[in-house]
């Protein structure tokens, strides 16, 4: 899941307002804001933010404006002379124009959305830490993950639908552009969850790639769409000089590139195109592994790699048996790329280890078959573009948030997954 560093932002204490800011409406909302506090418990923080948002809308409705007009009505109402959140932009810095009530509503909605992403990230990390190595998340786990992320999208959709395009916000984080940025992180998380589920599913079958329950063609296209969205997020982060975001997203991009290579490799293998399959597998290996040709390097494991290899369970012995059969085939050996692994967030680190296991098995399997049976020419990295399909994400139906709750039942947009 994509949970950007330092998100969701935390509230800062408001300064004493000037006379032009301290209107009855603003005073009432500022008093409600006192209930917010920095909170490491994502579920509690989401609840605080949702209550605060509802109280803002309630105050505005008492002045005769429904929730559908709240963002337009509050666009020119001053709320603070500083930025009252721990945003990437300098907080507590005097503004040329006041922070408006519309800015406050917009950032609260985005913070709630990011809170739901953080919640799913924490749940995935907790599962990976607490469960036995052979445990696999069940369908209920993935459905709950989907519900949480889809609920988060309701809040960005509310801002998108009811804020006019002319209302750009005091700073980038309060703009429509930023809302779209946050929405894309949630959409990436939803699409990525399909890929994560696939890796866990493969692990549960001891990486039986011939399992007909997995549609590799569809999943590969989902992964390619995730890659495109990540590249867009990286570009926007660079433009706004958010280098911590850039570093985080670039590491996830490497993982996604590895997943794309593995999925397209399996798809082509099942089509009896083993030369193409090996080409895509090489692409996957280049993104997540470290290669070496020397036995000494192969034996030199880091402590982290040693720990991860202990999690490979019974599958490791099967791979080892196949490895002994092909030691004379002169295939390159490879190891876990700790430069990638160490930078991955806990919530998706298991995806890396599952992918590494899959690639290791495919590497042995493909080279054994090609060196002794097929003898296909391996497609080069440059020519893989000719075999790469277009990306296509799973459609997600989103309804905007409204006071007093809204439905979070997911649409069954992808048969066999949710």
In the chain, the domains with their CATH numbers are 1-205 (no CATH), 208-293+335-393 (1.25.40.280)
Give the whole-angstrom CA distance, residue 336 versus residue 52. Answer: 45
pLDDT for 131: 66
pLDDT tens, position by position, 303-314: 444 544 454 444
Quickly tell me which residue has 């603070």 as its tokens: 80
pLDDT of 298 above 70: no
Position 137 confidence tier, pLDDT thresholds 50, 70, 90: confident
Which residues are CB-neighbours of 399 under 8 A, at least 6 positions away?
A: 154, 157, 406, 407
Q: Which helix (H) or strand (E) holds 291?
A: strand 289-292
Give the whole-angstrom CA distance, residue 191 versus residue 25. Answer: 41
pLDDT tens, position by position, 230-277: 999 999 999 999 999 999 999 999 999 999 999 999 999 999 999 999
Position 340 confidence tier, pLDDT thresholds 50, 70, 90: confident
Query: What three-state secondary structure class fits 368?
Result: helix
The predicted model scores a pTM of 0.83
Give the whole-angstrom CA distance, residue 299 versus residue 281. Answer: 23
pLDDT tens, position by position, 33-59: 998 987 778 899 999 999 999 999 999
């Amino acid at each position: 899941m994509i949970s950007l560093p330092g998100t969701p932002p935390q509230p800062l204490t408001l300064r004493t307002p000037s006379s032009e800011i301290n209107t009855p409406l603003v005073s009432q909302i500022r008093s409600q804001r006192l209930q917010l506090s920095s909170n490491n418990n994502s579920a509690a923080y989401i609840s605080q933010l949702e209550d605060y948002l509802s109280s803002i809308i309630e105050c505005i409705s008492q002045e005769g404006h429904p929730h559908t007009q709240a963002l337009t009505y509050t666009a020119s109402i001053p709320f603070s002379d500083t930025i009252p959140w721990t945003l990437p932009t300098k907080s507590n810095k005097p503004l040329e124009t006041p922070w408006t009530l519309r800015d406050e509503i917009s950032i609260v909605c985005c913070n709630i959305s990011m809170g739901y992403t953080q919640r799913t990230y924490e749940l995935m990390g907790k599962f990976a830490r607490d469960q036995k190595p052979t445990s696999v998340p069940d369908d209920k786990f993935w459905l709950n993950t989907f519900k949480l992320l889809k609920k988060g999208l309701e809040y960005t959709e509310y801002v998108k639908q009811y804020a006019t395009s002319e209302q750009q916000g005091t700073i980038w984080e309060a703009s429509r552009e930023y809302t779209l940025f946050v929405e894309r992180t949630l959409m990436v998380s939803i699409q990525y969850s399909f890929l994560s589920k696939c890796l866990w599913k493969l692990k549960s079958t001891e990486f039986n790639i011939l399992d007909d329950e997995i549609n590799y063609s569809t999943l590969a296209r989902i992964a390619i769409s995730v890659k495109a969205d990540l590249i867009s997020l990286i570009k926007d982060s660079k433009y706004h000089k958010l280098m911590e975001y850039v570093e985080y997203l670039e590491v996830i991009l490497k993982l996604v590139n590895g997943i794309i290579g593995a999925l397209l490799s399996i798809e082509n293998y099942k089509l009896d195109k083993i030369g193409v399959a090996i080409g895509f597998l090489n692409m996957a290996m280049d993104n997540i592994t470290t290669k070496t040709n020397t036995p000494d390097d192969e034996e030199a494991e880091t402590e982290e790699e040693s720990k991860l290899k202990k999690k490979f369970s019974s599958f490791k012995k099967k791979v080892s048996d196949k490895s002994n059969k092909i030691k004379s085939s002169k295939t390159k050996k490879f190891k876990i790329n700790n430069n990638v692994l160490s930078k991955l967030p806990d919530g998706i680190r298991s995806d890396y280890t599952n992918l590494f296991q899959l690639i290791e098995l495919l590497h042995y399997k493909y080279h054994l078959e090609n060196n002794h049976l097929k003898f296909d020419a391996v497609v080069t990295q440059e020519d893989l573009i000719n075999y790469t399909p277009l990306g296509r994400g799973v459609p997600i139906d989103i309804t905007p948030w409204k006071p007093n709750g809204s439905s979070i039942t997911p649409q069954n947009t992808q048969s066999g997954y949710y």
